Amino acid sequence: MKKWQCIVCGFIYDEAEGWPDDGIAAGTPWQDVPADWMCPDCGVGKEDFEMIEIG
């Protein structure tokens, strides 16, 4: 399981935890997060995701 960080706002998406608020189950790998999902803190879209792998 990896973590991904939004480079705009610092939000961390942890694959182990998913993002249940938006219906993304725990354990969802980054590539399976829906293409139209947006960073919950800054609204950056996934398509140009500006997210970096941090671990």
Partner 1 sequence: MSDNAPLVIVGTGLAGYNLAKEVRKLDSERELLLITADDGRFYSKPLLSTGFAKAKEADELAMQDAATMAEQLNAEVLFHTQVTGIDVQRRMLQLGGTEQAYSELVLAVGAEPRRLPWADDLGDRLLSINDLLDYGRFRTALKGKRKVVIIGAGLIGCEFANDLLAGGLEVTVVASDPYLMPQLIPEPVAAAVQTQLEALGAVFHLGCAIESLEAAQEGVSLRLDDGSLVIADQALSAIGLAPRLSLAEQAGLQVGRGIVVDRGLATSQPHIYALGDCAEVQGLNLMYVMPLMTSARALAKTLCGTANELSYPAMPVMVKTPACPLVVAPPLTAESGHWSTTGEGSDLQALFHDDQGRLHGFALTGSKVAEKLKLTRELPGWLLATPS
Query: By the criterion CB under 8 A, which residues form the site for partner 1?
Result: 6-11, 21-22, 41-44, 48
Structure tokens at 44: 């950056």
In the complex, the smallest distance separating the C-beta of residue 6 from partner 1, rounded to whole angstroms, is: 8
Q: Tokens 């980054």 — which residue?
A: 30
Cβ closest to partner 1, residue 1 vs residue 9: 9
Instruction: Label the pairing between strands 12-14 and 3-6.
Output: antiparallel
Cβ–Cβ < 8 Å for 52, 7: yes
In the complex, the smallest distance separating the C-beta of residue 9 from partner 1, rounded to whole angstroms, is: 5
In the complex, the smallest distance separating the C-beta of residue 29 from partner 1, rounded to whole angstroms, is: 22
